Each structure stands twice: as C-alpha cells, then as structure tokens.
Chain A
C-alpha cells in the first residue's frame, strides 16, 4: 500500500468516525410543527416539524415552551399556524391530557385555518412524553372538530402513509 493510499484510507476512517459521532439525538428534542411552504414542492403546503431542546420540568411547562416556539418560525419557508392575534391564555395538565385555552380570536378563524392550527398544536403537544390527549378550548369550550373532543394519535393523521398501509 503506498503512502498516498494509506493517508486516503485514514482520512476516510476519520470522516466515518466523525459522521457516526455527530449523529444527532433527534428523539431527545421536542418537535414543533409549522406550516411549511417549500418552493421545490410546487406551491404545496404541509405541516413540518422542527426539533428544539426541551425546556420545562412538567408536561405543562414543556407545552408552554412549545407553544411559544410555534410563534417563532425558524426559517423563511416556515410559518406559524397560530395567528398573531390569537393568544395562549393557559396551558393545563390533567393526567395524560394537556388542555390549551386560546383567546376568542381563535374561534373566529375559518375552518381551514382552525383545522390546520389545531392539528399542528395537537401534533406538537402529543410529542411530549406522557401526553396522550390534547384539548383546545376557547372560553372553556372545546374547539376541536365536531365529533371529537380531544386530539390523540389515533384520530389525527398528517402523513398519508396511513393510506398506503391501508391499501396493502
């Protein structure tokens, strides 16, 4: 083996080692959902998650941090699903349920915007360990879709893999 070959092999091994070491621990962070407009996707919108460090000891505290982060999109192609005039009035924890009270402006939103916002909030909060149900209320009344009072991972789907699985 010539000297050059040895050096090349050594560099390759180092790079491999660095890439293994640098693998991010994505599952340790909180996933925050934003409305994404990807220019490459020909004008399509989607709900995309960004990972942020978890902050807060309790699920309610973590939920509060996530809701705050949802108002601060990380890049130009990401948009907050919570309009500026809608305030988060309170976040309460009840066992495995998180109840989010939003201001009355939320109920004034059109169905589409409200549905997207509710889906993004619910998906973000359902990612918190121990949280299995999310309720979104305005003036104490559930603002979920008509026949469901809270969101779970079983009634909220943002990935069409479910259809592909169904077809198989």
Chain B
C-alpha cells in the first residue's frame, strides 16, 4: 500500500507543477498583452484628442474674438472673417445668434441657415462656457468646439466648429491592428515556448522523482541520468547520485559487517556447543578432560566477550557526533599502554622501547587517543616474533605531532595493506585466533583517527616488520579544565 501511495504522489506533483507554471506564465502573458493592446492605443487616442481640443478651441475663440469687433453679426461679415482667418479649410463652421439661429454655415448647400441649432456645445456656449467634445469610432475622430461671442458682456452669438478626422482615425485603427497582430504572434510563440518548456521541465522532474522512488524502494544502485543543460536540477541529480552511491556503499558495508559479525559470533558459539556436547556425550570422561574442556569453553567465552565489546565500541563510534578535541598528553598515554602491555610482551619475549623524552600534547579525544595507542601497540606485540621489539617514537613536524609505532614482527603483504583497517579483516587468521584477536582493533583505531581529524599510515615489509604512523594536531600545552 505504501508503494502505491508513493507512486500516486509522484504523478500528482508533476501535473500540478506544470499547471502552475502554465497558469503563472499565461497570466503574465495575458497581462502584458492586455497592457500592450490598450495602453499605446489609449495614449495615441488621447494625444490626438488633446491636439484636436487645443486646435479647435483656439480656432473658435479666435473667430469669436474677431466677430466681437463687428457692430452686428450678419452672414456677410461672418463670411469675411472666416475667409480672412482661413477657418473653413479643415472645419465646418457654424455661427449662430444669441438665440441659436444659424447665421452662417460654411457648407453652402446646408439647410441649417436660418434654423435653430441647440447642439450640446452651442447650449454650453450660450451658458458662457467654451465647449469641446470628441467622439471616436473605428473610422473617424469627430470633434466639436464652440465659444460664445460676447459684446459688452452679453452673448450675441456662438461660433461652432465641427471636424471629422479620418486620417488619424485610420492611423489609430492600423496601429491597433498591427499591435493585435504582434500580440497574436507573441501569444503563439509564447504558447509554443511554454509547452516545450513545460515538457522539458516536467520530464526532468519526473526523472528526479523516478530516482527518488527507486532509492526509496531500496534500489541504491539506481543513478539518475539528467540530460540537458547544467542547471540546479542537474546539480540535484549529481548530489542525489552521490548520495545513492554512499548509501549503496554503506549498505554493502552493513551487509558485510552483519555477515562477518554473525560468522565471528557463530564460531565461538559453535566451539562452546561442541565442547559442552563432548562433555555430555562422552561416557566416563575424566575430570582432567572436563577441566580442559571447560577451560576451552572459558577461552571461547572470553573471545565472545571481546568481540561483543569491540562491536559495541564500533557501533558507539558510528553513532558518535564529531568529537570535541581537547589537549591530551600523548606521551602519558603511551607510557600507560606500555605498562598495560608489559605482561603480554613478557609472555612473547617482546621488548617495548619508548624513544621520546618529555611531555607531548596533542589535540584529541581522551577515549580515542587511548584506543588508538593501545590497539596499535597491542598489535605490534601480538604479531611480533619471539625476542622481537616494539619501538615507539614521538616527534614534531611543523604543526603536527607524529607518533610512530614499529615492530619487528611478521609484517603484512603489500596487497593486503589496504584491507587491514577493514572490520574483521585478519592477515593471519590462525595466529589471530591464537592470540585472541577479533580483527576489529585496527578498525576501531582508524575510526577514532578519522573522528578526530588526524591521519594514519601503514608501512610494512612482509616477514620483517610493520610501522604505523599517526599524525595529530599539536597542542601547545595541556589545558586544565
């Protein structure tokens, strides 16, 4: 059920993201197109109207002023004024008396002369207001203007202009048409772009989600192949692959570790079982034999205990957060470990020689430094020849303190040097068993070295001896807490 739910979530996320991108882009594009199709045309239209207003009002007021100079208004003197001022070229001119009767019409064939006109602008002019109005349809700007003719403060007539501007109307219409065409082209191109962009983006997201799904189901070998340009999604894919690789290694190590641990634990348990069965099943077994078998059982139990303690140490190390480094006395630790190993060393007739003087302080963790030194020195003793030596030297190299632990033991073949730090790995299994080794000592030492940010190197000649070199960050002096 969990798998099915996960699959459904993946499908839904891809679809809704595409829809969101499309809606967002569509809204932006729509807004841009609306502005593009309204604002420029509106600006042009307003400019045309304002220009017409200015011209027309100027014209009517000029003619009205000219007519004010006449003692009375008649068709003849109005005609003269219109001709002189050249007002009738672009406009239709009407002049009325104070009651609205048309005294002059520039259009000779007109039937308005002598009749009453109470157009909106003329009514306004009769109310002593200059008036202008412009209407627009697709084919023409129709502008009207009127101004009162005043004589001694009395309105004696009205000058009225009307103009039909088809040229600018056509220009505006064509401009609108062009903008609409451009908008349509932009819409189509943008639409195609959005479709391809969406497809490409959602394909890349689906690729990512497939990887997440696969790893979520436990397929750590799955790698995402992200095609296309290098971008954030490619970076995510690379990081994901790196994480999967680490997961895969960790999983492999875990499986191997479980396998080794099971085997290592099973071996002493099997021995204990065998020995106890022998005691039970052998008739008339002697007390001496029983004592020997029980001694062997005790050894196996010790071995089991040792393995368990080492496993616990390792698991604690795995869960340990980065340690806080403090100033530790390396020389004192070495001295203490030498003391603890004196008994074992005497057993194998191995001498431990400490080749340093004074106190040496390093930045380390107190538990860690002990495990490192003890495990390395114990190995040097255990895998030594009878009558051999273990030499421990401490020196300074720039800002690091160098600990060298060398032995004259059996050495390690070159092809196995890399593996000695692996858990449960033993070069000589037989000898290791004989000496109570678990194959975990060097792993524990390496984990601590890594945890403390130090370094460890190994050099060995098979049959002649081995040298471990550990480099710690030097501390100036011990810090008293």
Q: Which residues of A come within 8 Å of B, CB atoms? A: 35, 41-47, 110-116, 118-119, 145-148, 151, 154-160, 162-164, 166-167
Contact = CB atoms under 8 A, between A and B. Distances in A.
B164 A157 contact: no
B330 interface: no
- Of all A-B residue pairs in the complex, the 9 with the closest CB atoms, nearest first, are A111-B98, A115-B99, A112-B126, A46-B120, A115-B100, A119-B118, A155-B115, A145-B101, A158-B118
B99 A43 contact: no
Given A47-B118, A111-B155, A156-B115, A41 B133 contact: yes
Nearest to A154: B115
Contact of A167 (B92, B115, B123): B92
Given A157-B112, A160-B162, A110 B120 contact: no
Contacts of A44: 120-121, 123-124, 129, 131, 133
Given A110-B154, A119-B118, A163 B99 contact: no
A145 B99 CA distance: 7
Contact of A112 (B127, B142, B144): B127
Interface of B: 92, 97-101, 107, 109-110, 112, 114-121, 123-124, 126-127, 129, 131-133, 142, 144, 154-156, 162, 164
A166 B107 contact: yes
Given A112-B126, A112-B127, A160-B119, 17 more contacts: A35-B123, A41-B133, A43-B129, A44-B124, A44-B129, A45-B124, A46-B123, A47-B118, A110-B155, A113-B126, A145-B97, A145-B116, A157-B112, A157-B115, A157-B117, A163-B162, A166-B109
Given A156-B116, A158-B119, A167 B133 contact: no
Contacts of B97: 111, 145
A20 B246 CA distance: 76
A44 B135 CA distance: 14
Contacts of A159: 119
B116 A110 contact: no
Nearest to B115: A155
A118 B115 CA distance: 13
A7 B119 CA distance: 49
A43 B133 CA distance: 11
Nearest to A38: B120
A116 B96 CA distance: 13
Nearest to B100: A115
B116 A147 contact: no
Contacts of A146: 99, 101
B110 A47 contact: no
Given A35-B123, A110-B98, A146-B101, A115 B116 contact: yes
A111 B116 CA distance: 12
Contacts of B107: 166-167
Contacts of B115: 148, 154-157
A35 to B, nearest CB: 7
Interface of A is mostly: mixed
A123 to B, nearest CB: 8
Nearest to A151: B116
Contacts of B162: 160, 163
A45 B101 CA distance: 18
B167 to A, nearest CB: 15
Contacts of B123: 35, 44-47, 116
A164 B142 contact: yes
A66 B109 CA distance: 36
A41 B132 CA distance: 9
16 contacts: A44-B120, A44-B121, A45-B120, A47-B118, A112-B98, A113-B126, A118-B116, A119-B116, A146-B99, A148-B116, A155-B115, A159-B119, A160-B119, A166-B110, A167-B92, A167-B164
A12 to B, nearest CB: 25
A119 B124 contact: no
Nearest to B155: A112
Contacts of B126: 112-113, 115-116
Contact of A115 (B118, B121, B124, B144): B118
A148 B114 contact: yes
Contacts of A43: 124, 129, 131
Nearest to A167: B164
Given A45-B123, A166-B107, A147 B98 contact: no
B168 to A, nearest CB: 16
A155 B100 CA distance: 11
B147 to A, nearest CB: 13
A111 B110 CA distance: 24
Contacts of A167: 92, 107, 164
A4 to B, nearest CB: 21
A34 B129 CA distance: 18
A94 B124 CA distance: 34
Nearest to B129: A43
A167 B112 CA distance: 13
A117 B100 CA distance: 11
Given A116-B126, A119-B118, A111 B112 contact: no
Nearest to B157: A111
A111 B114 CA distance: 16
Contacts of A157: 112, 115-119
A155 B116 contact: yes
B101 A116 contact: no
A20 B416 CA distance: 99
Q: A119, A148, A163 — which one has the most chain B CB atoms within 10 A of its CB?
A: A163
Contacts of A114: 99
B308 to A, nearest CB: 70
A43 B114 CA distance: 28
A114 B99 CA distance: 7
A107 B43 CA distance: 49
A151 B162 CA distance: 25
Contacts of A112: 98-100, 126-127, 155
